[in-house]
Amino acid sequence: MRRGTGAPSRSAASPAALASCRRTRWTTSFNRLPANGAGRSQRRRAPSSGSRMRAPTMIRCRPPHGRPAAGPGTPGRGLTLLEVLVAMVVLGIAIVGIAQGFAVGLRAASVARHATTASHLAQSKLAELDAGLIPVTQDDEGDFGDLGEPDFRYRIDSRTTSWLGLYEIVLTVEWPDRGGTRDLTVVQWMLDRQAGALAGLQAGAAATSGASAGGSGR
């Protein structure tokens, strides 16, 4: 008589699973004790026909293609070489995309920083023109080495207008960028303060001389 070595499976199986599984029947037996077991040693008796019980059918599944089923004592299925290669290709594409996005972000930040610096330098040069430190009637060019930015250069184009003493100033700031150059152009209209001051002096001198001539005639 065979003793049961495993608990029957309680999970329901589908017809497809039953078709690929083999059935194994298990039987079990138990020991009977004397009715008055006190003071007697327990004796193992051969089970009678009435003591034999049939356990429910246990289904042991057989995996397709003769592979052993994965379980606690059986190692699981590993990755194939093709799966590893596909995973590496996907990972490489993701890394390249991330690197390109990072490079584009750094590039945009550098362009914005240089443009901001050029704008500040242009405002500084326009302030010098407005203060009369640089004549608005002449063209000029140079760099901003005195402001700590020798890589940035400026060019001033002075253009006359139909209004006397009013000039159109075109200020261009250039800086190197990736083997080329970038530029920022600012256009502003300015009065020739030196010409205005000279005209005022001449008008004052003429008025003074006229007053002197009138006084001497009396």
Quickly state the pLDDT bin for 26 (edges 50, 70, 90): very low
With beta carbons less than 8 A apart as the criterion, state whether 141 and 156 touch. yes
pLDDT tens digits along 131-157: 888 888 889 999 999 889 999 999 999
Percent of the chain predicted with pLDDT > 70: 53
- Whole-model pTM: value is 0.50
Q: What is the DSSP string of 99-141?
A: HHHHHHHHHHHHHHHHHHHHHHHHHHHHHHHHHTSS-TTS-EE
Q: For the chain, give every domain's residue range.
A: 117-202
d(CA 204, CA 218): 22
- Report the relative pairing of strands 149-160 and 180-191 from DSSP bridges: unpaired
- Nearest to 195, CA basis, from 171, 154, 160: 160
pLDDT tens digits along 59-115: 555 555 555 555 555 555 678 999 999 999 999 999 999 999 989 999 899 999 999
Most confident of 41-50, 160-169, 209-218: 160-169
d(CA 172, CA 152): 10
- Report the relative pairing of strands 58-61 and 53-54 from DSSP bridges: unpaired
